[in-house]
């Protein structure tokens, strides 16, 4: 019989679980990705980032 062990921390935007209310920070949304087909990959990432409430474009590493 194999016993699995797990360890680690769960954070949300760098905050530990006791620093935010997870019920206010998350919700279930069905997975239907209807992004605009004319956008580049970077523009799609920026759009998805803004949909989550951030106005920071961030830095992305795009691998070939």
pLDDT in tens, the chain (64 residues): 788 888 888 787 788 888 877 777 677 777 676 667 788 888 888 887 777 776 665 655 565 5
d(CA 42, CA 17): 30
Q: What is the pLDDT of residue 61?
A: 58
Q: Say if CB 26 and CB 17 are below 8 A apart.
A: no
Q: What is the pLDDT of residue 56?
A: 64
Tell me how far CA of residue 61 lies from CA of 10, 21, 26, 42, 44, in angstroms. Answer: 23, 31, 26, 10, 14
pTM over 0.85: no
d(CA 15, CA 12): 5
When the pLDDT of each residue in the chain is averaged and rounded to a whole number, the result is 76
d(CA 23, CA 12): 12
Q: What is the pLDDT of residue 63?
A: 59
């Amino acid at each position: 019989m194999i016993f699995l062990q797990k360890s680690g921390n769960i954070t949300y935007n760098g905050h530990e679980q006791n620093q935010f209310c997870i019920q206010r920070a998350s919700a279930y949304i069905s997975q239907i990705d209807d992004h605009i087909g004319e956008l580049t990959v970077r523009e799609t990432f920026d759009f998805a980032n803004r949909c989550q409430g951030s106005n920071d474009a961030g830095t992305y590493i795009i691998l070939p």
